[in-house]
Structure 1
Amino acid sequence: MTKQSATETLRELAKEIYEVSFTLFKIMIPTLIIIKILEEMGGITLLGELLEPVMGWVGLPESMGIVWATTLLTNIYTGMLIFFTQSMNEGLTVAQITVLSGMMLMAHGLPVEARIAQKAGIRLSVTLTLRIGGALLYGYLLNMLYSSGQWLQQPNQLIWQPDDLGSSALQSSSLAAWAIEQIQGLFAVFIVICLLLTTLKLLRIIGFERLINWLLSPLLQLLKIGKEATTITMVGITLGLSFGGGLLIKEAKAGHIAKDDIFSSMGLLALCHSIIEDTLLVMLLGAHISGALWLRILFALIVISLLSRWLLSRSAAFKTRYLFTNGSA
């Protein structure tokens, strides 16, 4: 690589980092502020009360409603803190922990992640239906599976829990502490974006990206995901929807990825993303790897394969009206 081409590559990389970071921060910062306001007004508690009757449908006690509500509006970390305060007197089984964890893995951080999907070109109603509906269906199926075979019915033993459970992070942190925490989180996101885009650029230069596309092409054809979206989809599956979605937004704006591919990719990421970090987190709660990882991957592949074949075969007018946004919503 010549000095001129190396300089041009670095310039392109810096531009990509700026575009992806700016796009994500425009979504994340206002949303985080709104969620904090809702927390202070008791919005999470209200949602938890609304979800209490639903918990019985998936074989969980009503008290787990506040755990899932917190996870839906914030993230898995905060949901875990609430779980530790709620689960001490419930005597949950490993199966129940796995069901709850599966639902948390599929539906969390919706205000931020659903907005990212919307900016990528998928309607908000589609994302929310897929993630919340998918989580409930997955929880129901897991509960039926474990109950019918009497699997994982032993009492759960927490692998780890915080030393101080006197108050949750939502109650104990001051506004200043919350602001510092969010700034640290955004800085961490920026660092990951820098490392991620640099790695992707190197993979393209050495040709490894083409090899990955070739190896995964049979599976992605089954899911109706074109090769242009292969690498980005894998980023989302391994690192998280925010990163995969941020890259999809950039490529969609540039016109490099078809809307059908974006739908299939974002649909898959809605049900199965960040399979390393998030899976390890819920296993700290005692979740079994069968439901936290393997069955979740299988469920996501089956659902998106069926949905892609059914919805993407419809007319362009149907897809424009019900599935796609223009990416600027």
Structure 2
Amino acid sequence: MTRTKTSIFEIFRESARVYFTLLKILVPALIIVKSLELLGFTLWLGSVLAPLMGWLGLPEAVSIVWAATLLTNIYTGMVLFFEVARSETLTVAQVSVLGTLMIVAHALPVEGAVAQKVGVPWWLTLCLRIGGSLVLTWVLHQLYRAGGWLQYPNELAWQPEYTDESLAGWALVQIQTLTMIFFVILALMTLLKLFRLLGIERLLHLLLYPFLRLLGVSQAAANTIVIGAMLGLSFGAGLLIQESRTGKLSPRDALLAVSFLGLCHSLIEDTLLILLLGADLSAVLWARLLFAFLVIGLLSRLPARFLKHGLQPANNR
């Protein structure tokens, strides 16, 4: 019984450590993003992005959707999407392209700060996520247009309910979200402990290692990549921060793992959210997975001296 109590205490203490590390990043980032939104920065960013929309076969009006998603999250982008969809007739191909933009590049102030905590600099995060999303969506646009695929009108399967847009309403949502994150991390830590006891963690490593080896990622990062890919970059990076500080993960592996998760994370939740807009699975899941494997595979094969410039020490952060 004493051993069980000790294990429970250790899991709770480890979860709290990871959680408060993330809070130091998430809270300031959320406040800064909300301040920028109130100052009209989102509208300005939408006007800057508008010319790119034509390059991707999208109307300029949807630029505000991606701008808001970049600064906040997919949920905010969804609300604006439904507003735009009232006046714009979009095809499934267009929604798939826009949805891919949103799912690859979103919440950059928060997720970029989390990635930096692990050791991935801002310039690399922006290049991978904004540059990567533009390249991937341009390829998808060309393929859909050339093949005549998904060129029929999009039909909305769901409409959001009214949300409180006041500062008090925003603060309440953030508190609820941040509280939920702790329990998710606690569940993850408990699951990892159980995996170790049952030997499942080792089995997952053995199954994943052949695929991760193609990306140049070591076996040590396998479990964290699975968690991040399933649940999200913030959760996966939170564990990566801890693994980096304890020396279990090399800076190079941390960089490759976070870079992969930047392009392809939260495969369940984010994918389902974008599918609610009417996007096709070929874009928001399969193309995203393939693109992430290709990019990280290329990145991992760069000479060490090039990767070294992208690494920042994470232990003292």
Q: Secondary structure at the match of 1:108?
A: coil
Is structure 2 residue 313 aligned with structure 1 residue 326?
A: yes
Q: 2:230 aligns with which of 230, 238, 245?
A: 238
The one-letter code matched in structure 2 to 1:290 is: S
The one-letter code matched in structure 1 to 2:43 is: T
**Equivalent residue for 1:272?**
264
**Equivalent residue for 1:209?**
201
Aligned mates of 1:183, 1:156 — CA distance in 2: 35
Aligned mates of 2:281, 2:188 — CA distance in 1: 27
Q: 1:283 aligns with which of 262, 275, 279?
A: 275
CA-atom RMSD in angstroms: 1.3
The one-letter code matched in structure 2 to 1:263 is: L
Question: Structure 2, unaligned stretches of length 5 or more?
Answer: none
The one-letter code matched in structure 2 to 1:36 is: K
Distance 1:319 1:163, change over 3 A: closer
Aligned mates of 1:256, 1:6 — CA distance in 2: 25
Distance 1:91 1:249, change over 3 A: same
1:86 CA displacement: 1.1
1:25 CA displacement: 0.6
Deviations 1:153-202 (A, max 9, x none): 001011111355xxxx6xx5221221111111101111111111111111
**Equivalent residue for 1:20?**
18
Matches within 5 A, 1:235-314: 235-310=227-302, 313-314=303-304
Pairs aligned (count): 316
1:299 CA displacement: 1.1
Aligned mates of 1:28, 1:98 — CA distance in 2: 29
Aligned mates of 2:189, 2:41 — CA distance in 1: 37
Aligned mates of 1:275, 1:243 — CA distance in 2: 13
Question: Structure 1, unaligned stretches of length 5 or more?
Answer: none
**Equivalent residue for 1:35?**
33
TM-score (norm 2): 0.97
Aligned mates of 1:16, 1:131 — CA distance in 2: 30
**Equivalent residue for 2:61?**
63
The one-letter code matched in structure 2 to 1:314 is: A
Aligned mates of 2:298, 2:282 — CA distance in 1: 22
Identity %: 49
The one-letter code matched in structure 2 to 1:234 is: V
1:11 CA displacement: 2.9
Aligned mates of 2:90, 2:295 — CA distance in 1: 29
Aligned mates of 1:302, 1:319 — CA distance in 2: 17
Aligned mates of 1:68, 1:314 — CA distance in 2: 34
The one-letter code matched in structure 2 to 1:56 is: G
**Equivalent residue for 2:48?**
50
**Equivalent residue for 1:228?**
220
Aligned mates of 1:276, 1:86 — CA distance in 2: 25
